[in-house]
Amino acid sequence: MNTYIPLPNSSVGSPVQFSEPAAYSYESCHCCPRNCQINRTKKQGWCHSPAGIRAARAALHPWEEPCISGLHGSGTIFFSGCTLRCCFCQNSLLSKDHFGKKLTVNELGDAFLRLQDKGAYNINLVTPTQFFPDIIKALDLVRHKLHIPVVCNCGGYERPEIISQLKDYINIWLPDFKYFDNELAFRYSKAKDYFEQASASIAQIIRQTGTPEYTLHPSSVPGRPDFPLMTKGVIIRHMVLPGHKDDSIRLLYWIHQHFPEHSYLISLLSQYTPYTKNPDYPQLNRRITSYEYNKVVDTALELGMTDGFMQQKSSAKEEYTPPFDLEGLD
């Protein structure tokens, strides 16, 4: 069951062609704003990711926004590792513990095609930044067989220069925009320049992606109307944190003032779930209240940000996190 619902008055193309690969590699890594310039074939940088792909799951995922998951699911690849250190990460087994299976470029390309064969509406790259060099190679390998859009589902902490090199590889972007206040970003995600990097990156994403486009997909359920699937566009995600609704509200004002209207969708997440009681962050050891979330949603509506989605409170459950069991990576 998808727990997203459109924002009130929300309004709801074909995949782009691939180009030559971007000119960067693991040998002097600058995949993310940490810009370690470490030779990852010899040692690990800030993210502790190896030179080579690791992933934990490749399967249909029904719990993205409706225009991404549709009725049957988005073809998600969950990659191991992360360039952030979010203390509340729901996928910490991957992001912090680096659980996953090592894959060759050929094996990753095969996983893309298997997901397409299973009926995936798109290929959804979840937390891919640290493996972009090999992901590009895998996409190049299957470009002549892959006929569905490619989604980049990332934390927003990106480099605009890298994003520009991905223009002809990524059709749909799902960046988080986590914080307005860099003090919060450093406290919770160890990224003291998060706002500057995320705002510049999302601006570049919007410039190069353009206005959202959709195609109507026939429903396989009798009596249910056809439904729109995004083929190109940007969905900016923001998860409201307990005790920090004011930061969310400031961020919405900034987005409204700086990004062109109708150039993106906004997705306001209520799904924050404290998976463990963390004594270092006691303010995060609870779910958000209806009051906190509704104040943020009300602000979006007051600003006219009605293109997008909100979540039902039932989204804040552990059961919506998929099992990381190496499915689809055999």
pLDDT digits (tens, 9 = 90+) for 168-214: 999 999 999 999 999 999 999 999 999 999 999 999 999 999 999 99
Q: Which residue from 107, 105, 58, 100 is spatially nearest to 80, judged by alpha carbons? A: 100
Q: Give percent of the chain with pLDDT exceeding 70.
A: 90
Model confidence band, residue 18 (pLDDT cutoffs 50, 70, 90):
very low
Residue 277 has pLDDT above 90, yes or no: no
CA distance 10 to 70: 17
Q: Where are the domains of the chain?
A: 4-320
pTM of the shown model: 0.91
pLDDT of residue 275: 77
Question: May I ask the CATH architecture of the domain 4-320?
Answer: Alpha-Beta Barrel (3.20)
In the prediction, which pLDDT does 16 show?
37
Span 240-268, pLDDT tens digits: 999 999 999 999 999 999 999 999 999 99
Q: Position of tokens 């486009």?
A: 213
CA–CA dist 320, 316 (Å, integer): 8
Query: Taking each helix axis from N to C terminus, what angle separates 290-302 and 245-258, rounded to the nearest 10 degrees?
Result: 20
Residue 313: its pLDDT value, please?
A: 67
Q: Does the pLDDT at position 21 exceed 70?
A: no
Say yes or no to pLDDT of 330 above 60.
Answer: yes
User: Cβ neighbours of residue 213 under 8 Å, at least 6 residues apart?
Assistant: 13, 230, 231, 232, 233
Mean pLDDT across 138-157: 97
Which of the four pLDDT bands, split at 50, 70 and 90, describes residue 278? confident
Give the residue, 317 or 255, on which the prediction is more confident: 255
Check residue 317 and give its pLDDT. 52
Average pLDDT for the chain: 90
Q: What is the pLDDT, as a whole number, of residue 19?
A: 41
First-to-final CA distance of the chain: 27
- Distance CA(268)–CA(164), nearest Å, equals 26
- pLDDT, average across residues 26-55: 92
pLDDT digits (tens, 9 = 90+) for 86-116: 999 988 889 988 899 999 999 999 999 999 9
The least confident of 118-127, 298-307, 316-325 is 316-325
Nearest residue to 68 via CA among 122, 107, 23, 21: 122
319 has pLDDT over 80: no
Confidence of residue 315 (pLDDT cuts 50, 70, 90): low
pLDDT of residue 8: 62
Q: How far is CA 105 from CA 171, 215, 258, 330, in A?
A: 20, 30, 38, 14
What is the mean predicted confidence (pLDDT) over 312-322? 62
The pLDDT score that the predictor gives to residue 23 is 41
Q: What is the predicted pLDDT for the residue at 257? A: 98
71 φ, ψ to 5°? -90, -30
Q: Looking at the predicted structure, is the pLDDT value of residue 25 above 60?
A: yes
Alpha helices in the chain (DSSP H): 66-69, 92-95, 105-117, 132-142, 160-165, 182-189, 194-209, 245-258, 290-302
Q: What are phi and psi of 216, to 5 degrees?
A: -80, 130
Which of these ranges, 155-159, 176-180, 198-202, 269-273, has the smallest mean pLDDT? 269-273
pLDDT at 136: 96
- Token representation of residue 216: 């109507």
